[in-house]
Amino acid sequence: MRIRAASPAELPLLRSIERAAGEPFRNLGMAAIADDEPLPLDVLEGYRSAGRAWVAADGTDRPVAYLLADTVDGAAHIEQVSVHPDAARRGVGRALIEHLAEAARERGLTALTLTTFTQVPWNAPYYARLGFRPLTDTDPGLTDGLRAIIRAEAAHGLAAWPRVCMRRELERPTARAAP
């Protein structure tokens, strides 16, 4: 699996990946999530042109997963990570997140953040295994920017199911000794 920047021609494929990745929500009684339209092409292009859209490509260089990121209050915020079900459970999502972590460290960002469903096995429990911790209402890590994201998601209807904001601190890069 190779992680690389998304190309303009691949943006429609990202929408297809998200639709496929949404289907398992239907089995959890979350049909509205499965039916939710992926981000429009112009929004995806905004992420791509800003260098904030990565794909995980298979051996034929075809994307099977993608990640979109924003910067929110000094942290890299995972706006979306979707893995096609045919590529699930192979470390693809983890590889995308680790790629983002490295890019964030290089930019001097201090953490990764995301919002997710608490009771979906491939959401909050999965991210906890990757080192993310839930943020409570009184946690100083729950910044104004993250609170705004939570409000926007609630307005979009996502608060119909329990959600949580999560954070993973990033270690500072280790200084290399001069040769």
pLDDT tens across 121-161, in order? 899 999 999 999 999 999 999 999 999 999 999 998 888 89
Query: Which residues, other chains included, contact 1 with Cβ-Cβ below 8 Å and sequence gap of 6+?
Result: 56, 57, 58, 64, 90, 91, 92, 95
Tell me the pLDDT tens digit for each residue of 8-59: 999 999 999 999 999 999 999 999 999 999 999 999 999 999 999 999 999 9
Angle between helix 11-22 and helix 41-49 axes, rounded to 10 deg: 120
Helix, strand, coil percentages, rounded to 5, for the chain: 40, 25, 35
φ/ψ (deg, to 5) at 35: -90, -10
pLDDT, residue 87, reads 93
Q: Dig out the tokens for 15 from the structure.
A: 């929408």
pTM here?
Answer: 0.91
φ/ψ (deg, to 5) at 93: -60, -45
